Chain A
């Protein structure tokens, strides 16, 4: 059974870079059927899809965040990561990593998810 676990600093200063890692166990990020995704939940915006990375390194980002987001994958460590630059208080949220299936197969639902990591942006 695949499990995902987020890790990273819980407090980031305004204007700095938020960095989180998602460790995957019970399965491989190198599988060709899956896309590895970041989602966040904030009081102001609710649930927001941030973007995904494929094992090949192909990415797709939400246009609202595209200028500040990088999602990368490390197949040797079975992990993928999120970097969000120039953060503000509006980026305070619980950040989740999740898996989805191929969008070309219309498999864009998310399962499983990690438990989430609260990141607070401080001034």
Chain B
């Protein structure tokens, strides 16, 4: 299975900060990577697919980049609604696999 490793595991930041989360794949996955935002009791939300394509309706402060084995999710200016857990997912190989998650906390 492809191992997806996210860093950091926890990130403390303030409203207005720019933050970046990294996701590394154990082998190349081209650009077949998605990012999700999870909040308790709510349906997970797709943010980015194909590594850098913003899902319709997602604010433009979210952006994704990378290819091959290293990818990043950047939030340009944190808003109060952004504090959540973020996961990356590869869909180049079965079984599809996810990173272990990055918890974004309010500083």
Residue numbers of A with Cβ under 8 A of B are: 4, 41, 46-49, 60, 62-64, 96, 98, 100, 103, 106-116
Give the interface size bracket for B toward A: 20 to 34
Interface of B toward A, CB cutoff 8 Å: 32, 34, 36, 38, 41-46, 49-50, 55, 87, 89, 91-92, 94-101
Inter-subunit contact B43/A116 (CB<8 Å) = yes
| Subset of 5 A-B contacts with CB under 8 Å | A46-B98, A46-B99, A108-B96, A109-B50, A116-B43
Known: A49-B95, A115-B43. A110 touches B101 (CB 8 A): no
Q: Cβ of A47: which chain B residues have Cβ within 8 Å of it? A: 87, 89, 98, 101
Question: Is chain B's binding surface mostly helix, strand, loop or mixed?
Answer: loop
A114 touches B43 (CB 8 A): yes
Contact in complex: A49, B34 (CB < 8 Å): no
Main secondary structure of the interface of A (DSSP, over half): strand
Docked Cα-Cα span, A64 to B94, in Å, equals 11
Which 8 A-B pairs have CB atoms at the shortest separation, nearest pair first? A108-B91, A109-B34, A47-B98, A111-B46, A109-B49, A49-B96, A62-B95, A113-B44
Question: Is A110's CB under 8 angstroms from B34's CB?
Answer: yes
Q: Are A46 and B46 touching (Cβ within 8 A)?
A: no
Q: Is the CB of A46 within 8 A of B100?
A: yes
The answer for the CA separation of A78 and B91 in the assembled complex, in Å, is 26
